[in-house]
Structure 1
């Protein structure tokens, strides 16, 4: 016990020495809130229509909004694998999204964010959707979490699935490693997660803690509790977002009440963009093109707020391009944590978070869909390589059904690959040619200027060559040399 206390005290000093101003007198707590499929423009501070988010607005006023914050892939499992490991998901072989039949998951040898905190003596807890492995070998409690309350995969892998409902088993809710309910009332998820989170904070207020809240909403099917149903002008989707905003407010008030606000880093971002095919039950990507399952800005650029009083500037907007893979190395620097021994792709962006005017250390960010290297961003420029993508088909979805529902239902079960995904979720497959966009003047990626800037195209192509060789690219038949295996069970 004495050795642990001394080690923790030394780490506090190391963490404090990293900051010239406002040195912390203890290791900061970290709360990571990740809603599922929330759109860039689903917050009032970013142009939300028909809904109100006063608590997120308050959080933004006390912290910084990062308006060029990206996830590594525009889909659930891949996105989570990336920010948990600090790697592009292709490096750890977790592209796409796992489901109830999956036998793979995050490899036990990968060193994840919660393990880094646990090794420092933090109390660790997660509540919400895990999605990095459905079997216990890959479970949160085997990957650094002391406590877990939540579900193994997405809430549409249930009796609510628009196409495959009859094939779905009962939806399990876990406490630790035990199933405590089957097919729980989904309208209570946000409230129950919030209550569990507050209890964890109260029980660990005298020691550093890491609290991970991968909220289950607003992934379809969407539900709001009785207290929030019918409150929003945006319909049920707006009700769901307003309840998530309420949850953030409850957490912030708990920190205030326990006098932990100044000692806590709060990070809020969505796991990917909204799912346009679901129409009125989907979020709003704002000025950006497309959404979830695509590498256009609407799929990978997500709302993000970070607050740490005295360190992260208040009431600021930062447009420097950074990615969720940067969280692990950044937080490791802040708290003096151990870095993974295996290669990662994220970079330390502490200066971007804490210093006005600091530049992103990334020369380029790369965007995969599955095993396809589809796009690269460098500075204001984004280059798309020729690739297929999914876009909504027909009329927008209604009532929880995807767009073009009647036409797609019959064929969706038999089709596979990208066309099967599109068919099951109300989309059609289109193709984009080699295209260059200036995101500073064209955030919607509508004007291909590749012909006017061949030098920029050549530079971005060259930047992509090393990552293509390292992580592969099925569009070009390239097998990556730096790919590590996922975990598997028989």
Structure 2
């Protein structure tokens, strides 16, 4: 028996829609410079994050979860590619172990050769949106819609001018592929007051409602930037925290998380939506009184100590993830990539090495992969590695062990003289070893002559040797430009007359729109 063509068409269309509606939705919430110790569930004494604390009690807490780098751009590239920055190109070779951003003097961005998570999800019928901070390149070829996202509302974090509380920097705000305005002017941020986080929340809620109405599986990458200085919170949250403006910001973000989870429940799709909350790197200690808390951990953003890369992380999936659990599985933002592919049923491309592994066995069944290692990079250098509860530093920013223990001259913004320093000491021949279970603050190096040191270091050396044997660095994208002239303007900029092309007056100096 043969069906008429129109019946076959409707049958296939129904099967496609039915299959799509059964696919789990994915929401990744990535904060900006939020510290491990900023949430009540992680021990923050003010207890001002009730929604995130509730999310943890209804889901699973991951206290041993790491960023891909102690800096924004490389960490975000790691999340979306499942690969270390040294592999995906988000590093620099300008100087040894130099951290690299993508601001005025950077010419690179995410390469076409990298396959981002939303591009893979598209093969299963997903629609994807990024809200907030992109930070993987400013030029048209690097924008989100060129790399798998269907929608974009936010900023590339391109600093066309000073970035401080006193100035009005030209930071473009995009709607999809076109610039629609600027931070601090079209989306005002004045003396720490702005409705931008509320706009980001509403954008997220509308996207969820729209895709659910269309019976479409979705990926929402919600990446607000309010906890990155200069801080901002809406008027309703001003002065409501015991922690000053930074606490106000955290309370507003916590409220946003609560509203998004409530929307999932309202739409009755919470059991079909996997949500993960984390941060791109540790709190920025250089911000001092306007920064977050890294809890018991040493240092913060830009460093490869625990405070720079261990992040507050919660996974939530009612009906799938048992409530009130804690997993000490080592994890990183690169594992988000592998976990999402595992949830959706997509095989990653086989032509490259991935650093992420699926966390589903740990999230759903409590299994622990004891062979998992965490590699801590700055620029082109592997600074440290964690295997189990042991962490070995191959490079630090100290002149001696005594200075290391005293905390002198190695925590950016936190040394006794107040001078930022990046002086490094090579411990490759005899790495500094710490047991993070009994010494999470990395204060007491294990003596290299002890039996414990000799036994633990054997496994670590093996892990490092295997890692480096399989390491093929990507083309560095964060090198400071020299003879390149960046004479361009964001798409749509000319329509609003807010961003002019800079003259190429000096071919040896990067020039940018202003």
Could you tell me the TM-score, scaled by structure 2's length? 0.80
Contact 1:385 1:435 in 2 (8 A): yes
1:241 aligns with 2:250: yes
The 3 A distance-change label for structure 1 pair 386 and 450 is farther
1:189 aligns with 2:196: yes
3-state SS in 2 of match to 1:91: helix
Distance 2:433 2:478 in 1: 37
Corresponding residue for 2:136?
132
Where does the alignment leave 5 or more consecutive residues of structure 2 unmatched? 1-8, 92-99, 399-409, 487-514
Mapping of 1:3-152 within 5 angstroms? 6=15, 26-50=22-46, 52-95=48-91, 96-152=100-156
1:440 aligns with 2:447: no
Distance 1:132 1:278 in 2: 23
Distance 1:353 1:432 in 2: 37
Corresponding residue for 1:382?
391
Contact 1:332 1:339 in 2 (8 A): yes
Distance 1:76 1:455 in 2: 35
Mapping of 1:448-487 within 5 angstroms? 448-451=445-448, 452=450, 453-471=453-471, 481-483=472-474
Distance 1:342 1:4 in 2: 33
1:322 to 331, 336, 341: 331
Where does the alignment leave 5 or more consecutive residues of structure 1 unmatched? 13-24, 397-402, 409-421, 472-480
Corresponding residue for 1:179?
179
Corresponding residue for 2:411?
391
Contact 2:271 2:320 in 1 (8 A): no
Distance 1:196 1:463 in 2: 43
Distance 1:309 1:468 in 2: 39
Distance 1:303 1:177 in 2: 32
Mapping of 1:317-396 within 5 angstroms? 317-343=326-352, 344-356=354-366, 358-360=367-369, 362-388=371-397, 390-393=410-413
Q: By how many angstroms is 1:486 displaced? A: 5.0
Distance 1:240 1:194 in 2: 13
Contact 1:391 1:430 in 2 (8 A): no
Distance 1:439 1:118 in 2: 40
Distance 2:332 2:415 in 1: 33
Distance 1:380 1:100 in 2: 40
Alpha-carbon deviations, 1:115-172, whole Å to 9, x = none? 1212211121110000111111011111111110000027x7654338xx88x95111
Corresponding residue for 2:503?
none
Distance 1:429 1:225 in 2: 40
Q: By how many angstroms is 1:311 displaced? A: 1.4
Distance 2:329 2:370 in 1: 9
Corresponding residue for 1:280?
289
1:295 aligns with 2:295: no
Q: By how many angstroms is 1:482 displaced? A: 4.8
Q: By how many angstroms is 1:105 displaced? A: 0.8
Distance 1:70 1:150 in 2: 25
Distance 2:169 2:290 in 1: 24
Distance 2:144 2:462 in 1: 39
Kindly tell me the number of residue pairs found equivalent between the two proteins.
437
Corresponding residue for 1:160?
163
Q: By how many angstroms is 1:30 displaced? A: 0.7
Distance 1:337 1:295 in 2: 32
Q: By how many angstroms is 1:361 displaced? A: 5.8
Contact 2:385 2:460 in 1 (8 A): yes
3-state SS in 2 of match to 1:437: strand
Contact 1:30 1:210 in 2 (8 A): yes
The 3 A distance-change label for structure 1 pair 59 and 294 is same
Contact 1:70 1:302 in 2 (8 A): yes
Contact 2:285 2:413 in 1 (8 A): no
Distance 2:474 2:300 in 1: 27
Contact 2:275 2:316 in 1 (8 A): yes
The 3 A distance-change label for structure 1 pair 4 and 293 is farther
Corresponding residue for 2:263?
254
Contact 1:104 1:487 in 2 (8 A): yes
The 3 A distance-change label for structure 1 pair 395 and 69 is closer
Could you tell me the TM-score, scaled by structure 1's length? 0.83
The 3 A distance-change label for structure 1 pair 392 and 271 is same
